[in-house]
Amino acid sequence: MIAFPLQSSDGAFFCEKVRNCDEHRRVINTFEVAHKDGDGVVDYLKKRAIEDTIRGESTTYLVFDKYHQLCGFFTLKTCLLVFYNRDEQSHEISKDSDGIEIKISESAIELVNFARNAGITDYDDIAQYIAPTMMADFIVPVIEEIRKYVGVQNIVIYAIDEKLVNYYQNTYGFGFLDKEATDYVCENIKPYYDHGGQLMILRLPNE
């Protein structure tokens, strides 16, 4: 079982679940993004992250360096991917005896937020290490721990621009559903806060 604070493999960073306390509210207010496109991430962290974590809507984790500077954060929540079930030979949508189209689902964890803090003093020196460390040493281990108790087949993320699409695809191996499945998920399941984002998924290996 994972124990928090969770240390990175090189000991340079540690991760904690956000708490409703003065210390965390103070460090959250130091968070900045390098580009204005990320203002929504800042608003979420400062206005909703603690409350959503308390209510069980999602869970936010704060990532610090050894000097206790807030270097980044990520937010996780459960979700489902739902698709039409198509016949393997005809590729037509399968229907039940009443003529109702059959849908299938796959379990997933959504990586709701995944961001670095551009406000730390040595940001230029460590920025390149923060995101890979968060993914490899914190996000993946937390999800793997969840998979010990609950079925999770995919990690889902909504990339807000083409630069992030390329980053998630080339760095972590995220891919895409086909157009029909993407359209169905985005029309029926996609959260309001991900409006305009590109749905991407990372299929997790079988145990």
Question: What pLDDT is stored for residue 193 in this prediction?
Answer: 62
Between β-strands 59-65 and 70-84, what pairing exists: parallel, antiparallel or unpaired? antiparallel
Question: What pLDDT is stored for residue 191 in this prediction?
Answer: 66
- pTM of the predicted protein model: 0.90
Report how far residue 182's alpha carbon sits from residue 158's, in angstroms, rounded to the nearest whole number: 11
Q: Extract the residue ranges of the chain whose pLDDT is less than 70.
A: 190-195
Residue type at 17? K
Neighbours of 168 (CB within 10 A): 22
Sheet holding 59-65, edge to edge: 6-7, 13-17, 59-65, 70-84, 103-116, 154-159, 198-203
Question: What pLDDT is stored for residue 15 in this prediction?
Answer: 97
